[in-house]
Amino acid sequence: MDMTVFETDRLVVRQWTESDADVARVYDMLSRWEVARWLGAQPRVIESADEALGAIQRWRGRASADGLHGIWAVDVRDTGQTAGSVLVVPLPGVDQQPTKNIEVGWHLHPDSWGHGYATEAARAAIERVFAAGLGEIYAVIREGNTPSVAVATRLGMEPIGKRRDWYGGIELDTYRLVAPQS
């Protein structure tokens, strides 16, 4: 079964699997404070392969039936290495309608930082949801996460201030991109 969700020139974005390789990569990525510190309502590193498997199972559970929403693995086409994740999911909180308050996000392993993978994967994910008729998309970023702010800026997202109504009241810097008018 083809697990590919979409592709770019350099990347293959696919479903995470419960394979040993995916579990090991997620564990290696999320057991690092430099990654985990920016994620979740209460950031913490994961401490076992079982927790990594649980993360993959939760991510797979966020996939929408139409394939438009999900948390997906980002593989580098030339090497086959998994760089990290890109996501398009409804933001938790205020409005749970599947066509409103949609987030684009990314988290990559440190060995994949600085290559433009987050921007490339997120740009393609945004293009997919805009092509499906979504009018705007958000990114929410913890204060101090300068690299993610740079990705949001490269994507053309505009800062719209701090918000607390998503992710359990955590204050997050919020960015928005409005779909181009055709």
In this prediction, residue 168 carries a pLDDT of 78
pLDDT in tens, 134-172: 999 999 999 999 999 999 999 999 999 998 888 878 899
In this prediction, residue 94 carries a pLDDT of 58
Q: How far apart are the first and last CA of the chain?
A: 35
E strands in the chain = 4-7, 11-15, 70-76, 82-90, 102-108, 136-141, 158-163, 172-178
pLDDT in tens, 25-35: 999 999 999 99
- For residue 82, what is the domain's CATH number? 3.40.630.30
pLDDT in tens, 109-124: 999 999 999 999 999 9
In this prediction, residue 130 carries a pLDDT of 96
pTM assigned to the model: 0.93
How many structural domains is the chain composed of? 1
E strands in 11-157 = 11-15, 70-76, 82-90, 102-108, 136-141
pLDDT in tens, 40-68: 888 999 999 999 999 999 999 988 888 89
Distance, in Å, from the CA atom of 102 to the CA atom of 153, rounded to the nearest integer, reads 18
Distance, in Å, from the CA atom of 107 to the CA atom of 91, rounded to the nearest integer, reads 16
Q: Which domain holds residue 26?
A: 4-178
